[in-house]
Copies of this chain bind each other. A is one copy, B any other.
Amino acid sequence: MHPRSIRSTLAALAAVLLSAVVPASPSLGLPVEIVADASPSADAFPLVTASSVAPLWYDAADWPGVVRVVGDLQADIERVTSRKPKASAERPSAPAVVIVGTLGKSAAIDALVAAGKLDASDLRGKWESFVITTVVQPLPGVERALVIAGSDKRGTIYGIYELSEQLGVSPWYWWADVPPKKRSAAYVLPGRYASGEPVVRYRGIFINDERPCLTEWTKEKFGGLNSKFYTKVYELLLRLRANYLWPAMWDNAFNEDDPLNPKLADEYGIVMGTSHHEPLDRSQKEWTHNHQKYGNGEWNYVTNKEGLTQFWADGLKRNGKYENILTMGMRGDGDMAMPDAGGMEANKKLLERIITDQRSLIAQHVNPAPTKVPQIWALFSEVQRYYDAGLRVPDDITVLFADSNVGDLRRLPTAEELRQRSGGFGIYYHIDMHGGPYAYQWINTNPFWKISEQMTLAAEYGATRLWIVNVGDLKPLELPIEFFLRMAWNPAALGKDQVADYTRRWAEREFGPEHAAEIADVVARFTKYNGWRKPEVVTPATFSTLHYYEADRVEAAWLDVVAKAEKIYAALPAEQRDAFFQLVLHPAKASATVAQINIWAGRNQLFAKQGRASTNAAADRVRELFRQDRALTNTYNRELAGGKWNHLMDQSHIGMHTWEPPVVDVMPSVAEVLLDDVARVGVSIEGDLSAWPDHYGDAVLPTFDSFHPRRSFVDVFAVGARPIEFTIRAEQPWIVLTKAKTALGDDRHWVEIDWAKLPTGVANGEITVTGTSVPVTVKVVAKKASDEQLAAAKGRFASLDGPVAFAATAATRRTEVGGVRWETLPDYGRLDAALAIYPVTAASILPPNPAPTLEYPVYLPRDGNYEVTLVLGPVMDFVPGRGMRIAVSFDDQPAQVLDLFAERGGPPFGNRLAGMDAARDNVRFLRSSHKLATAGAHLLKLTMVDPAIVVQKIVVDPVRRPAGLFGPRPPESYFGPPDCLTVK
């Protein structure tokens, strides 16, 4: 077991035990509820009662940031109770007093500790920790005190905001209009509530790619990205127990745009950084604006060392006094690769020299001991290549690994690297992207389970010095921002098994208990569906209009979640609706609308190919939905909260054709037909884009299989403008037709098999449609299992024809080896859940060594070659020198070891970004071929090789065409064949 995993496994265990024994908390910080409306016991602290409001007492010598937050607490208490407590550095005279202070900065706190009335053991020398506790008779004349004591500046601040959140002020009260909970009284329960230290030292966000939304919004509301705006961000971060910020730098220069920006950040308690390619606290725009003052003006260390040195020195002189994390190294101008210095070795040497020189600057301008100044070095693109080729920087520098831009970690530290690097490792993560493989900047597309799964890897592999997440315009990514930051505080508390509960607790905090479960379900579902494929890359071809009713099923899923959200919206009190709209209803409905636009455009394309008169109506649906998308945008911008968020929904999101967002939203292209004034009948069937009688080939319905009975259909439609007349007839009594209508009114005839009327074996039948220019015969093939086949297939995933598909979690047996085991990842991916190996740091095991195995009994109709397709998570090969492997076997055949990254070096994985397909699909595929000597019962086994691989689904298909390990998935369907259950 990896050393760090012991610690966090224990922490996870503790979290589980804790949540099982204490009441649910309205805060997402502490796991317990510490505020009550009425005093449950005499020793509860009366913060606000009918007759009293406890005054707030702080030390004037405490951190200004702490003093400032006392004011926030004062306001928060008033927000909740409509009663404003006094707040003062003077000792108040009241029987119940709230004492707020930082150990070593607050005389009152220090006195309580000295008097033995406050245990400071979990504060002294701790990072960002706090204790909230009641002390009886803390001081003469004071009966009872509520003490909020911090180990340091942010410890105290977090403690204060914890009380605010417990009282009912959401961290998002301003940023998402969450109304404070109303209380007539508030008591703090007796007890001692200690935060402990955060697992990740620096936890922050990167406001990035701020045009158009944030730029236009801040221009309208604040006059720019100035301190009026940034203090709103600082407060939010502190309420979320974050401490770190990379400011907007696309069109903006944080330190120059408003000199109060860095000053107030420091005062508030925010550690400032610059993005991964902006060294020594100077933003790119500062260079753009001022480069002509520095040497020859070139961003090139070979030709302009002196200019760059001066530029950086000026920055350090300006900002060195603040709490900063300094970005080290250098890339080319504008986040591009540096000019080649003459090959790999020369480039490495140059970069080493740059960092050495930068350290000297730090020693000169910030701290004579540069190792005392936190520094990061980001491994990005060509810089990661230098690192892989052996380039090393001083051990105290935190090395920052990045994800694939779509949320999959590309690299994690090895145990050896961890041992060697005192500065540790950090993660730069994306929940918003303007760049390759494609931009997603519009809406919340980040399921919690995805962040949980990947950041659990980061934590367990020890990359815990710093986590920073790219949040684009900040809004509307409220949910994943908080999840990411909460997880940074304690990753083990937001592992796979806590995600569902977290979501419900989040919903309860924001909207109260009544609808919390339903709201959590809506949130889980709209993010899950966006996790299938982000709206920006859904196209009319994404979901199959031909097979498995796929487009219909996807549309129905979306419509269901929207209906649920709309019902909740209607049921909520008016004051909660703005928050619910922006956090839940809008992203659900807007995402659904984009899915529907594309699905209807896909239907339009299909109908056009089939010559359906309803082609034009399908095009009109696309137009209506496109207008609905715009209407939703307008509501968000102009009506929500009285226009408070105008422009924050300006991002174009339909019609992407490169990695960039489209210039404007472009409706998917639709086909149109001109109807002839004739009564002309067309026929189409499930699974075929042809129309008869025009098409030359036969009309053959998908084969019916008695192992998983399903219905198919024959559509009959007008091709011309006139109404049609036709007859449809099943030629055999075992073919059952049921009349229905499609959404646009075409005739749909459901086809089912009356299995009781069929003998076992293969039956061939026909459905005849007349009224067409020549009669159309639709062929029906049905395969019915014999008693012997039924007996042999019992308890197995069985097929008489075509593929068998089943969920990974349907394994009938999971074996554990030495504590290493397959566990369920709830909600993960395309199905209800997936499976992965725990602990995630387990050592790799190659066959034939015993390893945790999954067993799937199958029944296959004939001997011969079969292809197994594994639908896997899009996890990357983050362990250097190793792929991402799993072993597949049938029965006692030798296991085949498959590697998602077998073709390292070649496209599409060579650039170590997610391959384009995986990045769009959010899955990876592995295929293997197996020769089975017999028909009937077999046992399919999946055996662990590397941990972290996630198995979602398995498809076993007779080989019909040349299959390759990396061949594209069958093109006809996004999700593939539906899963079946075992035969009963």
Assuming the A-B contacts A610-B663, A657-B609, A664-B611, are A670 and B670 also in contact, with contact meaning beta carbons closer than 8 angstroms in the complex? Answer: yes
Assuming the A-B contacts A630-B674, A655-B671, are A696 and B660 also in contact, with contact meaning beta carbons closer than 8 angstroms in the complex? Answer: yes
Assuming the A-B contacts A655-B671, A696-B660, are A666 and B630 also in contact, with contact meaning beta carbons closer than 8 angstroms in the complex? Answer: no
Most buried by B among A663, A666, A669, A694: A663
Chain B positions within 8 Å of A719 at CB level: 663-664
Most buried by B among A251, A666, A668: A666
Q: Does A370 sit within 8 A of B, measured CB to CB?
A: no
Closest-CB distance, A722 to chain B (whole angstroms) = 14
Quick one: which of B623, B673, B696 contacts A664, CB cutoff 8 A? B673
Mask, A659-699, CB within 8 Å of B = 1, is: 01011111111111110100000100000010100111000
Contact yes or no, B605 A669, CB < 8 A: yes
Complex Cα distance, B659 from A695, in Å, reads: 10
Assuming the A-B contacts A660-B694, A663-B694, are A672 and B609 also in contact, with contact meaning beta carbons closer than 8 angstroms in the complex? Answer: no
Contact yes or no, B615 A666, CB < 8 A: yes
CB-nearest residue of chain B relative to A629? Answer: B674
Assuming the A-B contacts A669-B670, A670-B670, A671-B666, are A695 and B610 also in contact, with contact meaning beta carbons closer than 8 angstroms in the complex? Answer: no
Chain B positions within 8 Å of A663 at CB level: 609-611, 682, 691, 694, 719
CB-nearest residue of chain B relative to A615? Answer: B666
CB-nearest residue of chain B relative to A601? Answer: B669
Complex Cα distance, B335 from A696, in Å, reads: 12
Closest-CB distance, A661 to chain B (whole angstroms) = 8
Closest-CB distance, A776 to chain B (whole angstroms) = 13
Complex Cα distance, B716 from A948, in Å, reads: 51
Complex Cα distance, B696 from A522, in Å, reads: 36
Complex Cα distance, B541 from A258, in Å, reads: 50
Q: Does A377 sit within 8 A of B, measured CB to CB?
A: no
Closest-CB distance, A964 to chain B (whole angstroms) = 17
Q: Does A442 sit within 8 A of B, measured CB to CB?
A: no
Q: Does A516 sit within 8 A of B, measured CB to CB?
A: no
Q: Does A242 sit within 8 A of B, measured CB to CB?
A: no
CB-nearest residue of chain B relative to A682? Answer: B663
CB-nearest residue of chain B relative to A251? Answer: B774
Interface residues of A, CB < 8 Å — how many?
37
Complex Cα distance, B610 from A251, in Å, reads: 22
Contact yes or no, B664 A676, CB < 8 A: yes
Complex Cα distance, B719 from A671, in Å, reads: 24
Q: Does A626 sit within 8 A of B, measured CB to CB?
A: yes
Chain B positions within 8 Å of A657 at CB level: 609, 689
Chain B positions within 8 Å of A695 at CB level: 660
Q: Does A627 sit within 8 A of B, measured CB to CB?
A: yes
Chain B positions within 8 Å of A537 at CB level: none
Closest-CB distance, A361 to chain B (whole angstroms) = 31
Closest-CB distance, A679 to chain B (whole angstroms) = 14
Q: Does A270 sit within 8 A of B, measured CB to CB?
A: no
Complex Cα distance, B667 from A605, in Å, reads: 11
Contact yes or no, B671 A627, CB < 8 A: no
Contact yes or no, B668 A671, CB < 8 A: yes
Q: Does A608 sit within 8 A of B, measured CB to CB?
A: yes
Chain B positions within 8 Å of A609 at CB level: 655, 657, 662-663, 666
Assuming the A-B contacts A609-B657, A655-B608, A696-B660, are A665 and B673 also in contact, with contact meaning beta carbons closer than 8 angstroms in the complex? Answer: yes
Mask, A600-642, CB within 8 Å of B = 1, is: 0000110011110001000000010011001000000000000
Contact yes or no, A608 B671, CB < 8 A: no
CB-nearest residue of chain B relative to A611? Answer: B663
Chain B positions within 8 Å of A668 at CB level: 671
Most buried by B among A664, A666, A676: A664
Complex Cα distance, B657 from A605, in Å, reads: 11
Complex Cα distance, B774 from A696, in Å, reads: 56
Chain B positions within 8 Å of A669 at CB level: 604-605, 608, 669-671
CB-nearest residue of chain B relative to A540? Answer: B669
CB-nearest residue of chain B relative to A211? Answer: B773
Contact yes or no, A626 B660, CB < 8 A: no
Complex Cα distance, B663 from A719, in Å, reads: 8
Chain B positions within 8 Å of A689 at CB level: 657
Chain B positions within 8 Å of A630 at CB level: 674
Complex Cα distance, B604 from A667, in Å, reads: 12
CB-nearest residue of chain B relative to A216? Answer: B773
Closest-CB distance, A37 to chain B (whole angstroms) = 48
Mask, A691-727, CB within 8 Å of B = 1, is: 1001110000000000000000000000100000000
Closest-CB distance, A971 to chain B (whole angstroms) = 15
Assuming the A-B contacts A608-B655, A655-B608, are A667 and B672 also in contact, with contact meaning beta carbons closer than 8 angstroms in the complex? Answer: yes
Assuming the A-B contacts A660-B694, A696-B660, are A673 and B666 also in contact, with contact meaning beta carbons closer than 8 angstroms in the complex? Answer: yes
CB-nearest residue of chain B relative to A334? Answer: B696
Complex Cα distance, B662 from A610, in Å, reads: 8
Mask, A326-361, CB within 8 Å of B = 1, is: 000000000000000000000000000000000000
Mask, A709-749, CB within 8 Å of B = 1, is: 00000000001000000000000000000000000000000
Contact yes or no, B660 A667, CB < 8 A: no
Complex Cα distance, B605 from A605, in Å, reads: 16
Complex Cα distance, B694 from A630, in Å, reads: 20
Chain B positions within 8 Å of A696 at CB level: 660
CB-nearest residue of chain B relative to A439? Answer: B696
Chain B positions within 8 Å of A615 at CB level: 666
CB-nearest residue of chain B relative to A720? Answer: B664
Most buried by B among A615, A676, A719: A676
Contact yes or no, A674 B626, CB < 8 A: yes
Complex Cα distance, B664 from A673, in Å, reads: 7
Complex Cα distance, B552 from A837, in Å, reads: 60
Contact yes or no, B662 A667, CB < 8 A: no
Closest-CB distance, A630 to chain B (whole angstroms) = 5
Closest-CB distance, A343 to chain B (whole angstroms) = 21
CB-nearest residue of chain B relative to A694? Answer: B663
Complex Cα distance, B671 from A662, in Å, reads: 13
Chain B positions within 8 Å of A666 at CB level: 608-609, 611, 615, 671-673
Complex Cα distance, B604 from A666, in Å, reads: 11
Assuming the A-B contacts A611-B662, A655-B608, are A673 and B667 also in contact, with contact meaning beta carbons closer than 8 angstroms in the complex? Answer: yes
Contact yes or no, B664 A626, CB < 8 A: no
Quick one: which of B610, B674, B694, B774 contacts A665, CB cutoff 8 A? B674
Closest-CB distance, A916 to chain B (whole angstroms) = 18
Complex Cα distance, B927 from A7, in Å, reads: 64
Mask, A239-258, CB within 8 Å of B = 1, is: 00000000000010000000
Contact yes or no, B694 A626, CB < 8 A: no
Complex Cα distance, B160 from A424, in Å, reads: 103
Contact yes or no, B665 A626, CB < 8 A: no
Chain B positions within 8 Å of A660 at CB level: 694-696
Chain B positions within 8 Å of A605 at CB level: 669
CB-nearest residue of chain B relative to A627? Answer: B674
Complex Cα distance, B682 from A549, in Å, reads: 41
Complex Cα distance, B604 from A663, in Å, reads: 14
Chain B positions within 8 Å of A655 at CB level: 608-609, 671
Assuming the A-B contacts A663-B682, A682-B663, A694-B660, are A672 and B608 also in contact, with contact meaning beta carbons closer than 8 angstroms in the complex? Answer: no
Chain B positions within 8 Å of A774 at CB level: 251
Complex Cα distance, B720 from A251, in Å, reads: 23
Closest-CB distance, A594 to chain B (whole angstroms) = 14
Chain B positions within 8 Å of A662 at CB level: 609, 611
Chain B positions within 8 Å of A672 at CB level: 623, 626, 666-667, 670
Complex Cα distance, B658 from A689, in Å, reads: 10
Closest-CB distance, A470 to chain B (whole angstroms) = 16
CB-nearest residue of chain B relative to A656? Answer: B609
Mask, A944-958, CB within 8 Å of B = 1, is: 000000000000000
Chain B positions within 8 Å of A604 at CB level: 669
Complex Cα distance, B719 from A662, in Å, reads: 12
- A-B CB proximity, top 8 nearest: A611-B663, A669-B669, A611-B664, A667-B672, A608-B666, A669-B671, A663-B694, A666-B671
8 other A-B residue contacts (CB within 8 Å) besides A605-B669, A668-B671: A251-B774, A609-B662, A609-B666, A626-B672, A664-B719, A665-B674, A669-B669, A670-B670
Sample (13) of A-B pairs whose CB atoms are under 8 Å apart: A608-B669, A611-B663, A611-B666, A623-B672, A626-B672, A627-B674, A660-B695, A663-B694, A664-B719, A665-B673, A666-B671, A669-B669, A669-B670
